[in-house]
Chain A
Amino acid sequence: MEYLALIYADEAAWERFSNEEREAAYEQYGEFSQAARDAGVLVGGEELGPTASATTVRVRDGRQLVTDGPYAEAKEALGGYFILDCASLDDALTWAARIPGASHGAVEVRQVYVDEGATT
C-alpha cells in the first residue's frame, strides 16, 4: 500500500537558516531517504519550492483565474513529500515519524487511492 507523507514546516525558519544549517538538514533528509530506500519503502519524494514561488489556478465559468501564491497561507506550509510503500498504516506512521520534519513541523499521512480498473 502506498502512502503519501506531506511535510509541513515553518518556511520562515528555513529562510533564516545558515548554509551550514541547511546542509545539516539536507543531510538528515538524505539519511532518512537512504534508510527508507534500504528498507524497500521509498517510492519517491520531492522538495517543493517555497510558497512564494507557488501559483494557484482555478477555472470558473470557463475562465482561467491565475493567482500568485499558494492555495492556503499558513505559518507551516507544505514543503515536500515522500511516497512510501508500507504494509500498513501503522508502518507508514512509524516511517513518517522518522522524517526530520516530524520533529520541528508536522507530517500528514494519506493513503494513496487504488482503483482496480485504472489504466493511469
Chain B
Amino acid sequence: MKYALLVYSDQADWEGVDDDEAARRRAESMPRWLNLFEEMDRVDPHVAGKELVAATEAKVVRIVDGETIVTDGPFAETKEQIGGLFLTTLPDLDEAIRIASLVPAAEYGSLEVRPIVER
C-alpha cells in the first residue's frame, strides 16, 4: 500500500533564527533524521522525500470566471504548515504510523498519513 506522509510543523519556530542557530538546530536533530532515513531505506528502498521552502513563500492559484488569480501565502491559515512529504510503499497503516512517528517533526509538529489512491 502506498502512503503519503505529510509533515506539518510551525514555521514560526524558525522566524528570526540566524544561520548559526539554524545550523545548530539542524546538527542537533541530524542523528534522528539519519535514523529515520536508514529505517525508511530498510523498509522501502524506493521511498521519495521532498522538503519545501517556507510556506510564507507559497502562492495559491485559482481560476475564477476564466481568470487566473494568484495570491501570496499558503492556502490554509493554520499554525502548522506542510514543510515536506514522503511517498512510501509499506505493508499496512500500522507500519506507516510507526515510520511517521520516527520523523523528528512528529515531536514538535504533526505527521498526517494518507493512503494513495491507485487506479
Partners in one complex: yes
Residue numbers of A with Cβ under 8 A of B are 2, 4, 6, 8, 26, 44, 46-49, 51, 53-60, 64, 66, 70-72, 74, 76, 78, 80-81, 83, 89, 93, 96-97, 102-103, 105-113, 115, 120
B8 CB contact (under 8 Å) in A6, A71, A81, A120: A71
Neighbouring B residues of A97 by C-beta, 8 Å:
61, 63, 68
CB distance from B35 to the nearest CB of A (A): 12
The answer to whether B61 and A93 have CB atoms under 8 Å apart is yes
> What is the CA–CA distance of A120 and B84 in the complex, to the nearest angstrom?
13
> How distant is the Cα of A6 from the Cα of B34 in the complex, in angstroms?
27
Number of A-B contacts (CB under 8 A): 135
B-side interface mostly? strand
Binding site for A on B (CB under 8 A): 2, 4, 6, 8, 37, 48-53, 55, 57-63, 68, 70, 74-76, 78, 80, 82, 84-85, 87, 93, 96-97, 100-101, 106-107, 109-117, 119
User: Is there contact, CB below 8 Å, between A44 and B58?
Assistant: no
Given contacts A4-B52, A108-B58, 7 further A-B contacts (CB under 8 A): A4-B85, A44-B48, A71-B78, A108-B60, A108-B74, A112-B53, A113-B53
